Chain A
Amino acid sequence: MKNNILIFVVISLISGVTSYIALDNLLIAIAVLVVFLIMSIFVFSPMLSRYALKVKKFHECYHFINNFVIALSIKKSISGSFETTVNSMPNEFIELCEGLENMNEKEKLTYLSSYFNFHVYQLFIQIIDLWEDQGGDILQMSKYLITEIRYNEEYITKTDSLSKHKYVEIGILWTFSLLVVVILRFALKDFYQSIKNQLLYMLAIAIVMVFILLTMFLLISKGTSLKLKGNHHEKNS
């Protein structure tokens, strides 16, 4: 989160400074800086935080189900498997489960479906219910579920890496594009005094700044969109 904010502040500063260099107008430069900061703090950063939380929860869900199934195949008891699995999870998750002391292990498992808001977790609960009723080999019973979760995990890991790579790539490309504006301003200094107050030139700089914001918004929207089935976007299609 802090890293994101820092990066966005740097981007806002670069945009503000470029506007100042291009237009020689402090008021417009400050306006650009403020708009970029507002968008970063209230739009872009929350989008990235929501995405990070969703990814973190899915990783936890993956580890929880995987560890629980393995523990259950060895211990053959829900309470023992729950305890073993919870102890292998991050501290934050252990603290969450410590707050559920008045529930039995089965109730805790069901309660966790509000934390792991994914379809795969609900399917996991159904398989555990079935195992409780009929018995059987839990490793076999959850074979297809584990495969499905692994597919999702692989999808998240690969697309996350693709998105981060693209953020850097587009960042570099925009830096070069803004450099063009700065270089032209100094290279054409004889004309600059005449054109800096022209409406078309001012509009062009304004449109480029809006275009940068639009690129950031669309890129982050695309980069943070995940096709993970769950209640958070159940009615999406």
Chain B
Amino acid sequence: MKRTLKERINLLGLSYPREMFIMAMLLVAFTIGGIALIVFLKELYIGIFVVAVGPISIFFYIGRYSSIEKVHEKEHVDELISLLSYFEIFIFNGNNVYNSFKKLIPYTSTFMNDAITTLLSMIDSDKSVGPYITFAGKFKSHVIESLLLSIYQMVDNGENISQFSEFDILFGNIRSKFQEDLIENKKRGLDTFNSFPLIGAGFVTIALSISILSVIGDYINVI
């Protein structure tokens, strides 16, 4: 189902009027800047370029919503994996699955708080695998589905220790992978900065080349 821009902004927890205001301001600022360059500094091409940057900046500004959505989805999965570490501590220290989920609530974000509260209320009325599947469906990850199924099996088999061991092995592997991903993501994030100095140097070189060509052009005109 295709969502409208307003729905997407609201789902991301952003304010629709504020986002619209920012976009309008971007458009106005670049337009005024471009017109000022043309009128006061007689720089026609640079002025047109600055005016054109306005709509382009809005295009990129709207494009960032997709990235924010992906970041949110990943954050939710990451948060759940962190919380399942705590869940494991509670289970191992004698709590049942229901109470362990309940004990997670003080450590959750608003999204996770709602998701766990819904899961608990669904478990109250439905003892099947349904609530666990519904809960896992909130996270776009097959890993989460496997973990939730493993937790359900624990419940279904009377929460005995052998089921816990199975969950422990599965979660142990996922937790290690999660750890590697955390470090790898940070490395990848830092690596993006490598291109910044090259862009800077390239920018100056281009500006210099254009300036020199315009000076040469002036000389030729004089001759």
Q: Are B92 and A144 in contact (CB under 8 A)?
A: yes
User: CB of B200 within 8 A of chain A?
Assistant: yes
The distance in angstroms between the C-alpha atoms of A235 and B79, with both chains bound, is 11
Q: Specify which chain B residues have a CB less than 8 angstroms from the CB of A176 in the assembled complex.
A: 197, 201
Partner of B203, one of A119, A163, A208, A222: A208
Q: Specify which chain A residues have a CB less than 8 angstroms from the CB of B179 in the assembled complex.
A: 151, 154-155
Q: Specify which chain B residues have a CB less than 8 angstroms from the CB of A97 in the assembled complex.
A: none
Partner of B208, one of A173, A201, A236: A201
User: CB of B39 within 8 A of chain A?
Assistant: no
Q: Are B200 and A174 in contact (CB under 8 A)?
A: yes
Q: With contacts A180-B205, A208-B203, A211-B199 known, is A166 near B211, CB below 8 A?
A: no
The distance in angstroms between the C-alpha atoms of A67 and B187, with both chains bound, is 32
The interface residues of chain A, by DSSP majority, are classed as helix
Contact digits for B108-131, partner A, Cβ 8 Å, 1 yes 0 no? 011110000000000000000000
Q: Are A199 and B183 in contact (CB under 8 A)?
A: no
The distance in angstroms between the C-alpha atoms of A156 and B52, with both chains bound, is 44
Shortest Cβ distance from B209 into chain A, in angstroms?
Answer: 10
Q: Are B107 and A188 in contact (CB under 8 A)?
A: no
Q: Are A195 and B211 in contact (CB under 8 A)?
A: yes
The distance in angstroms between the C-alpha atoms of A35 and B4, with both chains bound, is 42
Q: Specify which chain A residues have a CB less than 8 angstroms from the CB of B182 in the assembled complex.
A: 155, 159, 227
Partner of A184, one of B43, B46, B208: B208
Closest chain B residue to A184, Cβ basis: B208
User: CB of B75 within 8 A of chain A?
Assistant: yes
User: CB of B36 within 8 A of chain A?
Assistant: no
Q: Are A204 and B207 in contact (CB under 8 A)?
A: yes
Q: Are A123 and B183 in contact (CB under 8 A)?
A: no
Shortest Cβ distance from A195 into chain B, in angstroms?
Answer: 4
Q: Specify which chain B residues have a CB less than 8 angstroms from the CB of A177 in the assembled complex.
A: 197-198, 200-201, 204
Instruction: Count residues of chain A with CB under 8 A from any CB of chain B.
Output: 56
The distance in angstroms between the C-alpha atoms of A145 and B90, with both chains bound, is 10
Q: Are B197 and A145 in contact (CB under 8 A)?
A: no
The distance in angstroms between the C-alpha atoms of A163 and B103, with both chains bound, is 35
Partner of B109, one of A163, A188, A218, A235: A235
Q: Specify which chain B residues have a CB less than 8 angstroms from the CB of A184 in the assembled complex.
A: 204-205, 208
Shortest Cβ distance from B64 into chain A, in angstroms?
Answer: 15
Q: Are A191 and B190 in contact (CB under 8 A)?
A: no
Shortest Cβ distance from A110 into chain B, in angstroms?
Answer: 15
Interface residues of A, Cβ cutoff 8 Å to B: 119, 122-123, 126-127, 130, 134, 141, 143-145, 148, 151, 154-155, 158-159, 162-163, 166, 169-170, 173-174, 176-177, 180-181, 184, 188, 191, 194-195, 198-201, 203-205, 207-208, 211-212, 215, 218-219, 222-223, 225, 227, 229, 234-237
Interface residues of B, Cβ cutoff 8 Å to A: 41, 43, 46, 72, 75-76, 78-79, 82, 85-86, 88-89, 92-94, 103, 106-107, 109-112, 175, 179, 182-183, 186-187, 189-191, 193-194, 196-201, 203-208, 210-212, 214-215, 218
What are 16 pairs between A and B in contact, CB < 8 Å?
A127-B93, A148-B86, A155-B183, A174-B200, A176-B197, A177-B200, A180-B204, A184-B204, A191-B215, A194-B218, A201-B207, A203-B207, A227-B182, A236-B109, A237-B78, A237-B112
Ranked nearest first, the 3 interchain pairs of A and B with the lowest CB-CB distance are A204-B207, A173-B197, A177-B201
